[in-house]
Amino acid sequence: MLFGRKKPGFIVEEEETTGDLLEYMESLPEVEDSDFEGLVPPEAAAEDEVTEAQLLASYIRQRTQGIQLTSHSQLLEEVAHFEDLKKEWGNDDSCQDIVVIKGNKDSYYYSNLHMSDNYAMIASLVEEKDLPKTIAAMVRFNGKTYPAPTPYAYFERSPYLAARAQIERAAAVLKSKEEYQDIQPFKNNLGEAFFFSTQHMSYQYAKALADVDEYTD
Amino acid sequence: MAIYGWTGKLLRINLTDLSATTEDSMKYQDYIGGMGLGYRVIYDEVPLNTHPYDPASKFVMAVGPLTGSGIPCSGRMNIAFLSSWSKGHSIIDAHMGGHIGPKMKYAGYDAMIVEGVASKPVYLKIQDDQVTFEDASHLWGKGTFESNQVITEECGRDFESASIGQAGENLVNYSTLNTSFGNSGGAGIGAIMGSKKLKGIAISGTGSVKVADPAKVKELSDYMMRELIGGNNNHNVPALPQSWAEYSAASGKNRWSGAPGREWKKAAGGPIDMGEQPCGDINKIAYRCLKGVFDYGDVASNYIVKQGGCSSCPIRCYTQYDMEPLAEYDLPTHVSNTCMPMLYGQNFYPSGLIDFKYEGDAKMIINGASSHAQDDLGLWCNYGNLYREVKWVLSTEEGKSHIPEAEWNSYPWEWEKAADPRWVVEIMRRIAYKEGEIAVIGEGTIAMAEKWGLGKEYFDSIDSLNQNVTYNGYPKHHSAEDSGQIGLLFNLMYNRDCMIHHLTNVTNSGAPYEVSKATMEGFFGKGSYDKMKSCTPMNRNKAKVARWAFNGKQFHDSATLCNWMYPMTQSPSKARNYVGDLELDAKYMAAVTGKDYTRESVEFDSERISQMLRVMTAISFNIQFGSTNLRQDHDGMPAWIFDKQPELRAFEEGTDKMDREDMELALDYFYEEMGWDKATGIPTRATLVKYGLADMADDLAGRGILPN
Amino acid sequence: MSDETKTGLNGFLDSQMTRRQFLKISGKSIAGLTVSATMLSLFGCTQEQVDSEQVVTWAMPQGLLVVNAAKCTGCKRCEINCSLFNDQECSSYISRVKISRNLHIHGKDGLLMGNFTYYPDTCRQCEIPACGEACPEKAILADDKGIKRVDNDKCIGCGACVEACPWHMPTINPETRKSSKCIACGACVLGCPTAALSIIPWDAVTAAAQEIVA
């Protein structure tokens, strides 16, 4: 046993155990728990009246903690009087964290206590599955914010998880559309593929930032 | 009077008469501990013309009041001694993590001064106040891993142990002292111990570190871990987008590499997903670093068991691998290191590498073998100069020309061509055993240049294999490429690579420039923080930043705190506007020691240590070369720094090349900040008196090098 | 997750009952037993970790202590937090949770044995504590929460508790000469940067058990 005993014979060797943990425990003989007599179980918290709107907010909050947005269309479909409940949020201090981000195809609710607005933006892009649009939005965002170019590999990783082939296809789409002409691909000194946006930096600067200097550990 | 933080005692170990005596350590209080204490002792007790392997040489292992106090990232030990390999043979220090630093405090000692020479190999065994010299003849000739295992078995598993390897025994200048698993102190300490026949040190302690305000220590530690600490190198945004985080690294790569979907694939009992590690959640901090993936990409996960590291640190920057392909070559499969030894083994292979089991795993596996061998031999790399020089020898005609043909042909080239990990292990072994001309590399860059007739042009050359930041024999360690003049200034000042991460931690954090700039300008004023690869001319505020970082390293290595994690300049907390807390060092010192430290007083005490470094360097250069001018003779900057990328001008967008005139101004401003003479870069009497170092001023005057 | 309709599993209707169930298996191997997905998630472990003996549970008064050896990274902050919180100083020797002694050489495990298997030993808060039984002064007694504590007024620092404990968990503090023993304060858990140590409150365990029944 990993947590091995130092003195043999201290614990009687158990028979081999199988089956469900809880059932197994129930099957064992009772043990004395004299220590617990003094313990008083915590009082069940007095349950406040919770409104339907607050319950829904709580549901969205829970989903946000699970790193998931909740779409407006889904809420409309599954929640009666959704628009009324949404109005209630506006007047309820305890629901101020429930906010919405507008995508192309839908809108998405999340709790800004548990998710940043920037991540919600990324999540909504990923949700809408328009990779060229996602790439353009993030390359511009990165070019403006950090500022930095964006490697193709960035979109292979969480939370985008696009395949390299998909990214290559998306790059072709970006090249073909007028509205995406600022998104330019290039390769750094190691031959790694990058995008940058001409709206936010020069090619010279993008390349300088993308190039890997050796021995900068 | 109760002493808090410090133990109040140091050990004096005399290997000639095998004696151990205790002395008061509180007389060194003004020097904080660690580096400060070590430098003062060396100055007081070892004439600066003493060769490091001379019986009269000494070394000082010292920790500080924060070591072992429970403050996060306070596990390091400093070792001060004279350099066997850098120009001037002046004062330097090595730094060793793992767990032995706090153990020395628990045994009751702030420091250990080691002098004399043992008549036969011994290891030091310290068990609280019992100090004995154990026979180490059965350990002599063994690598550090086996030596540490045997020492621990002999002494007991509650001992921490550190050993030198064959490199130290063979008096190779590039040698280390190794502890735990992959932790080492370098810069030549191995050979100094080897020259004294001291194979290793074992420490056990039943004591404790007393802190003046335990509740405050806990409160500050929790505050730091909840609000200030980021990933490795305190990168304050995650590499990949995380749902709680406003920002992430635009490149997708920084030292907060843990993310959902990234795993310790070889964890016992199945893969462990790193998940998200929100700011404020202490119980997830150790999942942030995932160094192996930072170094090698996602393929690294296939071999990661877990992450380890030093005492008291929640970051765990040592990726612990199980690389089963190495078994085929009869090499150990369990390997671990956090940095250099784990990064440049591929330099040994001019023919290139071949993957082992997974696509893209070649470099990593080679480095697993290489790092384990290097750590076992106790061989130092001079922050990569060793790897670059080996590559130069093996891959270029000019480099090859210095190796006799018979020796060249004796190398097991079939291993090199097959990208066999035993090749790098063998070349490392030859250097550790001084076998052949290639082993000259192990004597140091200066020795190599002298032996092979490499002139100034070698140091000036624009070549990625030349990272020498001075003509003194050591490379840059986060210099102009991260922070322009600021980084370059502090890279010049030591007698080895500077190990300063104050600026790189901010510039490479992945945080938006405007956010970091607001933080830095809030601390240091306008113009103090340039955009990456878009430098601006020198200004006064940059000199202040350089001074802060320079003195800051002294503080870390004296207190002790990790030089890679601190200071907490930035924070991952949006509520804080990502601004860290530069008062933290003083808060730690006050809570632990009970003394009235402030940020100013901590910086003052730290600068005292900077002054000692500069005085001792001036004296060494005077002894060795008759130099009276450090600006010219020590702080000279090789040409590549200014002449790289000839198609671009300095301060143009897209380059970090510097400008000669601008750097002269930078030196002027920096010397002024430090109170050093403008022409010579040597501290003035007024400056030294200010720090209570009048005796050093007298010393300089006696040698005719005190500025007027 | 069990897909049978359960009429049993009555032993998990409240915190007290749940604790009594888990007391039966405190410190025992649960390898081979199927743990529901909900409960695995609550414990922060996987079925595979359970089956490879990486996970051990101990029924403490305030909740279930789960020790997951696979997650331990040897940082020693458990020892630091324990000693700072309970002794107002920082020490490894008197810490009541012990990782330092397992880190480098621990039988065939440990860094210097060439593997990365190391984990903290925790006090088991045994129902019938060997330490208490061995104490000649009857200085180790359960308080009103069931935690076995050392009464410093009675302790004579003889070390019988250290010897008697099969895991040598207590330590005699060299300065106070008193037995230094775990009081289930939870400081080690709060400060663990990987949650290798975690304490799940009984009501959460109960809720997870009930979920399976429902």
Rounded to whole angstroms, the Cα distance separating A30 from C23 reads 9
Which residue has 């709206």 as its token pair? A199
Q: Does one domain contain both A203 and A158?
A: yes
Query: Which tokens in the block code for residue A84?
Result: 């009324």
Query: Which tokens in the block code for residue C171?
Result: 């330590």
Q: Does one domain contain both A136 and A178?
A: yes
Contact A18 C209 (CB under 8 A): no
Q: pLDDT band for position A86 (50/70/90)?
A: very high
B388 contact residues in A (CB cutoff 8 A): 215
Picking from A1, A18, A42, the nearest residue to C53 by CB comes out as A1
A122, A88 in Cβ contact below 8 A? no
Q: From A25, which residue of chain C is nearest by alpha-carbon distance?
A: C21
| Whether the predicted interface score ipTM is above 0.90 | yes
From residue B418, how far is each of B349, B366, B412, C186 by CA, in Å? 9, 12, 11, 54
What was the pLDDT predicted at A41? Answer: 52
φ and ψ at residue B232, rounded to 5 degrees: -60, 145
Rounded to whole angstroms, the Cα distance separating B662 from B513 reads 24
Q: Is B436 helix (H, G, I), strand (E, B) or coil?
A: coil
Helix axis angle for B599-625 and B540-559, nearest 10°, is: 90
Residue B312 distance to chain C (closest CA, Å): 5
> Which of A79, A99, A122 is where one domain is finished?
A122
- pLDDT above 70 covers a percentage of chain A that reads 85
What was the pLDDT predicted at C214? Answer: 52
What was the pLDDT predicted at B327? Answer: 98
Contact A216 B481 (CB under 8 A): yes
Q: Which domain holds residue A103?
A: 52-122
Rounded to whole angstroms, the Cα distance separating B486 from B544 reads 9
pLDDT tens digits, A142-174: 999 999 999 999 999 999 999 999 999 999 999
Q: Does one domain contain both A82 and A143?
A: no
What was the pLDDT predicted at C5? Answer: 42
Q: From C51, which residue of chain B is nearest by alpha-carbon distance?
A: B269
Would you kindly state where each structural domain of chain C is located, as residue ranges? 1-68+195-214
C33 contact residues in A (CB cutoff 8 A): 17-21, 24
Rounded to whole angstroms, the Cα distance separating B164 from C155 reads 44
C120, C191 in Cβ contact below 8 A? no
A159 contact residues in B (CB cutoff 8 A): 240-241, 260
B241 contact residues in A (CB cutoff 8 A): 118-119, 122, 158-159
pLDDT (mean) for A5-10: 42
From residue B706, how far is each of A62, B604, B680 by CA, in Å? 69, 22, 9
C31, C53 in Cβ contact below 8 A? yes
Nearest CA to B398 out of B464, B458, B462 is that of B458
Q: pLDDT band for position C4 (50/70/90)?
A: very low
What was the pLDDT predicted at A7? Answer: 44
What was the pLDDT predicted at A9? Answer: 38
Please check whether residue A5 lies inside any domain of the structure: no
What's the gap between Cα C92 and its chain centre? 17
Count of structural domains, chain A: 2
Rounded to whole angstroms, the Cα distance separating B131 from B11 reads 9
Query: Which tokens in the block code for residue B578?
Result: 């990502």
Please check whether residue A30 lies inside any domain of the structure: no
Query: Which tokens in the block code for residue C84?
Result: 């700072």
Q: Where are the beta strands (DSSP E) in C116-196?
A: 140-142, 148-150, 171-172, 179-180
What was the pLDDT predicted at A11? Answer: 41
Q: pLDDT band for position C144 (50/70/90)?
A: confident
- Which of the residues in chain B have pLDDT under 70? none
Please check whether residue A147 lies inside any domain of the structure: yes
Contact A28 C39 (CB under 8 A): no
The four Cα atoms A128, A133, A139, A142 give a dihedral, to 10 degrees, of -40
What was the pLDDT predicted at C16? Answer: 85
pLDDT tens digits, B332-365: 999 999 999 999 999 999 999 999 999 999 999 9
What was the pLDDT predicted at A13? Answer: 46
A192 contact residues in B (CB cutoff 8 A): none
User: How many CA atoms does the CB half-sphere of C132 hold within 13 Å?
Assistant: 17
Residue C100 touches partner B, C-beta closer than 8 Å:
yes
Q: Does one domain contain both A97 and A166?
A: no
- Kindly report the average pLDDT of chain A as a whole number: 88
Does an H or E element contain A121, and which? helix A117-128
Contact C52 B320 (CB under 8 A): no
Please check whether residue A136 lies inside any domain of the structure: yes
Q: Is the dihedral of CA B502, B508, B514, B516 positive or negative?
A: negative
Please check whether residue A2 lies inside any domain of the structure: no
For C82-88, which contacts have Cβ atoms below 8 Å and span 24 or more sequence positions?
C82/C182, C82/C185, C82/C187, C82/C188, C83/B70, C83/B208, C84/B70, C84/B211, C84/B214, C84/B217, C84/B218, C84/C187, C85/B218, C85/C185, C85/C187, C86/C180, C86/C183, C86/C185, C86/C187, C87/B208, C87/C173, C87/C180, C88/B211, C88/B214
CATH number of the domain encompassing residue A154: 1.10.10
What's the gap between Cα B228 and its chain centre? 23
Residue C13 touches partner A, C-beta closer than 8 Å:
no
Per DSSP, what are the bridge partners of residue C199? C65
Q: Does one domain contain both A154 and A95?
A: no
Which class is B9-204 in CATH?
Answer: alpha beta
Q: pLDDT band for position A3 (50/70/90)?
A: low
Residue B127 distance to chain A (closest CA, Å): 25
What was the pLDDT predicted at A42? Answer: 53
What was the pLDDT predicted at A15? Answer: 56
Q: What is the pTM of this model?
A: 0.96
**How many CB pairs lie under 8 A apart between chains A and C?**
110
Residue B220 touches partner C, C-beta closer than 8 Å:
no
> Which of A122, A139, A170 is where one domain is finished?
A122
pLDDT (mean) for A10-30: 74
Picking from B211, B283, B322, the nearest residue to C195 by CB comes out as B283
Contact B207 C90 (CB under 8 A): no
Q: Is the dihedral of CA B345, B350, B355, B356 positive or negative?
A: negative
Of the two residues A81 and B64, the one the predictor is more confident about is B64
The runs of H, that is alpha helices, within chain C are 15-23, 37-43, 47-51, 77-87, 100-103, 130-134, 160-164, 187-190, 202-213
pLDDT tens digits, A114-127: 999 999 999 999 99
CATH topology of domain B480-702: 1.10.599
**Is residue A113 predicted with pLDDT exceeding 80?**
yes
Mutate to test the interface with C, among B66, B306, B562, B592 (most CBs of C within 10 A): B306
Q: What is chain C's alpha carbon radius of gyration, rounded to the nearest angstrom?
A: 18
Of the two residues B574 and C2, the one the predictor is more confident about is B574
What was the pLDDT predicted at A2? Answer: 46
**Of the given ranges (B134-143, C18-27, C90-99), which has the lowest mean pLDDT?**
C18-27
Contact A148 B250 (CB under 8 A): yes
Would you kindly state where each structural domain of chain B is located, as residue ranges? 9-204, 214-319, 345-380+385-460, 480-702
Residue A189 touches partner B, C-beta closer than 8 Å:
no
Cα B487–B488–B489 angle (5° rounding)?
A: 90
What was the pLDDT predicted at A35? Answer: 55
What was the pLDDT predicted at C8? Answer: 60
Q: Is C48 helix (H, G, I), strand (E, B) or coil?
A: helix
What was the pLDDT predicted at B121? Answer: 98
